Chain A
């Protein structure tokens, strides 16, 4: 069987384009495709001919607006997708309609994306849908947002106008608790600042659209979160009884003891099944994989159960708070029953309370007895039975739901448990030796105080690869952005905590083990701990990960030995080559490259500035608190 190399299959990033109607979303997409040579042969001619038939000027928008009604009315009705490539990776562009009437189609498009490009017309400025879309992006959990101020050609590429709009929109986003990753001036029609930097706006020194997109990262890995595997179905096609489902977060291994919620039965994983059976036997699977498992005993399990490990189980409750958007033709009304769909669970829920309807224009809240189509609201929902769920801010994939009214999906929401208790302890008998000691202050409270979650950023790489340089610079930048952050570096640890350790392999492992534990304590205290150690052995790094499994991010600072040796900031390579240092990593001792680092920073290929942009984007995406964390004003 022929094998594809990993590099032959390129990464794909999904980008949604949103913004107010007529601000030029489809035109921008057309221009992106055209300028990156991604259009099929003859497509432009075909559209030119079609525009002439209609007596309309040529519009790139017609590439995406495929429906007759869209072309006749010159508006986008439904979301569409189209592919293009940059030199870095492949992209799917999701074009979402800007017209208020088609909000459900905008949400359909936006919810599938990793990042968003929000377009604002330089002439018209910030409008109703500019704000609403910005709000919804954050409600949907999309944290990477670039704002493009378009039609700069119509305002003579004026810096003042650009600053005026970006100031206004940034103020709106700041109120939501959001920092846009980029705000950039463009002219889609004229192709300015799309693929390459614009010559007409020398006052602007940021990236082009494509440059900005290339800085975004693929969706944050959820395999470090606790295990959640909602049961999708149970198959009995042959002698095997297979429990099927997709891992929404965490990892599952053969031999694991697993808990089914809310039924609260336990069993052990006997096998992870696969077809064709000639493939190597799987013993572990992580988030994103659709698996089929068998158990060591035949307990009753059914669709809607959530599999977790015994510790870090989901919340059990029959009441929860939600922030939701309503898309139904009929308004959502107090006291009415709806069908809730949360992963594979279905349950009847009642709208118990509408705490506020939020005006996405000025973010004010008002009391109401119903939620109209296209409105956003804070509500309390009550189910007829116990549900297993999570708070969206902790575990996005199992903390969101849709509501069905009659036959139609009529709304979607994200769960918050603020003020409501996890009822698991009340209904479950638990073995006492697995209950963790609770801190007086919760992770959530710390995160709210800091504006971000705590975690460990574990830099690993050769001596001279740039770990210290990057971590020190990153600490400075994050600190200036208001983060609670601290670098654990070889020297500051070895002078104190680890003063009794030498450089034998045993002592080096112990050094890393202690650093791992200390970093985890920093992280649990709510800070971002940056560690800069060569940490050449995989098993040491895995042990460090085990101290903080849910928010440990391994960053491989990559540079080959030759490059590092050329830099040799401390003269160590020279000494090692002369034999003055024994067992020097990369020269006379091994460096085990990470197999699955969360992030790879190639310092041989990129400038420090580029590496910083990548790191900061990554940290913001993974640690910064979303708008949804804030309680309604």
Chain B
């Protein structure tokens, strides 16, 4: 069993656990490389099926290529799609820095989906290596009535026993990719031949390492034009993956505040 097999089999276990233990779940599909791997893993877990809806919380400001990708693979992968539009930026907390305020729209969109669909589990593709507060997350992470994350008192989680009991009105976030790294994602995408959005590949000396809203996401300098080249690049780089995501860098605790409020 190599490292990628270990990652895959653990994720499959987590997805099956979420599907069995929770009444109503959905999977957040941001269209990025991680959430595509997550859908792929769901098809492995459920032997060719994705037995719950995928949710695209749409800020309306994604790249054109992302919308094209969504419309193509929703059919090819036979997915049930729920699309939710985010409220305008004027309705967001004005004390947040500009980019974080923009990102907060996604949290608000997420809350709308939860209210409408009454999900008690949301599967999200965050990883520990992306960001330091995400490194502290649990695989099954409880959220309060307002969707907030109580990072000061997280449940114990060991021996693959997850928190699957929760009071009415609250929900769980399930993180099947928490133990993966960016390099793992690419090596696995390559091994499994998982389709990707071409924005990840270098064009004119630049490529995107992480995809978000077009106006607050910037590309990094890179000549990696194939997945193989991305893998080689990642083995040597020491630039952080989210360096192109503006909302992470405005204030020391900007991301923690976003996450405590329910951001992914």
Chain A residues in the interface with B (C-beta under 8 A) = 1-4, 6, 8-12, 37, 39-43, 50, 53, 63-64, 66-69, 77-83, 90, 104-105, 107-108, 110-112, 140, 232-233, 235, 237-238, 240, 242, 244, 246, 273-277, 286, 288-290, 292, 303, 327, 339, 341, 400-402, 404, 406-409, 412
Contact = CB atoms under 8 A, between A and B. Distances in A.
B154 to A, nearest CB: 6
B129 interface: yes
A288 B238 contact: no
A579 B136 CA distance: 66
Contacts of A292: 47
B248 to A, nearest CB: 11
B132 A9 contact: no
B13 A68 contact: no
B47 A273 contact: yes
Contacts of B17: 232
B73 interface: no
B156 A409 contact: yes
Interface string B237-263: 011100000000000110010000000
A408 B155 contact: yes
A90 B45 CA distance: 27
Interface of B: 1-6, 9-10, 12-13, 16-17, 19-20, 43-49, 51, 128-129, 132-133, 135-136, 138, 151-152, 154-159, 161, 163, 165-167, 181, 187, 190-191, 193, 227-228, 231, 238-240, 252-253, 256
6 nearest A-B residue pairs (beta carbon): A66-B132, A111-B158, A104-B156, A290-B12, A40-B240, A407-B165
Given A111-B158, A412-B158, A235 B46 contact: yes
Contacts of B12: 246, 290
Contact of A246 (B9, B19, B159, B238): B9
Contact of B252 (A41, A50, A233): A50
Given A10-B3, A67-B256, A407-B165, A275 B43 contact: yes
18 contacts: A1-B193, A67-B256, A68-B256, A78-B151, A80-B135, A107-B156, A108-B154, A110-B158, A140-B158, A237-B46, A246-B12, A275-B48, A277-B48, A290-B12, A290-B16, A400-B159, A407-B165, A412-B158
Contacts of B1: 286, 288-289
Nearest to B49: A237
A107 B156 CA distance: 7
Contacts, number: 160
A112 B158 contact: yes
Contacts of A289: 1, 5, 9
Nearest to B137: A78
Contacts of A69: 152
B154 A105 contact: yes
Contacts of A327: 156
Given A105-B154, A242-B47, A290-B16, A412 B9 contact: no
Contacts of A64: 132, 135
Nearest to A53: B252
A41 B239 contact: yes
A407 B19 contact: no
Contacts of B2: 6, 9
A81 B10 CA distance: 17
Contacts of A104: 155-156
Nearest to B240: A40
B133 A107 contact: no
A274 to B, nearest CB: 7
A194 B7 CA distance: 29
Contacts of A68: 252-253, 256
Contacts of A409: 155-157, 161, 163
B154 A78 contact: yes
A303 B193 CA distance: 33
Nearest to B8: A290
Contacts of A3: 191
A100 to B, nearest CB: 15
Contacts of B13: 232, 246, 290
Contact of B132 (A10, A41, A80, A111): A80
Nearest to A410: B156
Contacts of A4: 4, 187, 190-191
Contacts of B155: 104, 408-409
